Structure 1
Amino acid sequence: MTESEVMVATGQDAAEPGLTAPASGQRRIRRENVERILKAAELVFAEAGCAGATMTEIADRAGLPKANLHYYFRTKEDLYRAVLDNVLRMWLAPVRSIQPEADPATALAEYVVAKMRLSRTRPNASKVFANEVLHGGGQIQDFLARDLRQLLDQKAEVLDGWIAKGLMAPVDSRHFFFMIWAVTQHYADFDLQIRMVLGRKKLSRQEYERITAEVVRMVLRAAGLNAAADLMDLAGRTG
């Protein structure tokens, strides 16, 4: 399923002029059903992978008849691709705020906070992506080689520009992003390991805020930037 198809399925396309109330209601129901399906599928695919997941289990988790799933997504593979598209759009959004005119410390802190928030609120999304990569990335190789590479090149240029102006310490910009991804997504992909080592059944929101603040400090320190009080206050509000 293409991004445009997902947008239509979830009701993200622009409303047509003169849309009647019944049509609007149908669009709302469609959007709500697709959101329920994608959320349930994200959980099942995270637990079982695409090969091990079944449409029956996804329908049960979504609380919808199996026929509803096939109405919106013809096959399990279509649904899996839609989940991946959803995850990738969600993950790409925060990095777009890293712009040349931004303050480096603020922009990087905001990016880390956004990534940590996603790890806390949408851990299964990260696990679906990680599982796909570990199994060869057949569904996302084009995205990784083209879209993600292009975006990373653009954002690396921003960091290189800051470095050239003396606004942050010299780093390998691409590997700096890899480091941020590795640290922030670790809290989603390896949450079991973290909880077992820390002796927790679940990380509370307050603990996540403290952890986020520490990750922000480490990232800014690596970039030779000061972790100002207002940035630590930002890190303490993970949303």
Structure 2
Amino acid sequence: MVDSQSPATHDSNVLIPVNPEIEDYMHSLLTQTDHPILAEMEEFARLRSFPIVDRLVGVFLETQARMISAKRVFEFGSGYGYSAFWFARAVGADGCVNCSDTDAMNRERAERYLSAAALWQRIEFCVDRAQDVFARTEGLFDICYNDVDKGYYPEIWLMAKHRIRPGGLYIADNVLWHGRVALKHCQDVEHGSTEAIVEHNRLIFNDPGFDTFINPIRDGVIVARKK
């Protein structure tokens, strides 16, 4: 899972999609999401400057999964299991979240955290490139979730779109890239990343087989429903 932490508001190369005070208010409403393991995972991210989707997006992911009664999820880029925590809660005891990450230590952390949350039995975690894990994993998915290095976003979309069941969802994080997608001139944090995200978003919105929307919270989350 690779992205950037929230940027400073004085950075001329970024835009803040949602006013931070609005996001603070939204956070204040999440009184029913407290969990000791979740707090521990968030503290690890804070101390290590490890990019995670944050609780607002986590609740959004879980809600989307519950709305379509998702039982099978594939994550392109799982980090140490923060987004998987939310998906695993949604899929239930008979569901499965297929996770992928190139760092074996992230798998160990995910197992430790999600076992403590009684969710690990719902996880299949492979240490390898997400694209390679996906190619080895058969069948259709209710949700394909994309949070890999941003330069691979168009490639992931083109792989995933054919493996989502009708009525299922493609979801990707960081699709506003701190507003860089809307700026004509900006300094990219990763060479080609903004261009790749712009192309990714264009491909999805122009695909007649999907209904698509961007939720602008945090750094923008795209949701595309397969017709």
**Do Structure 1 and Structure 2 share a fold, with TM-score over 0.5?**
no
- TM-score norm. by structure 2 comes to 0.28
Q: Which has the higher strand share?
A: 2
Q: Which has the higher helix share?
A: 1
- TM-score norm. by structure 1 comes to 0.27
The structure that has the greater radius of gyration is 1
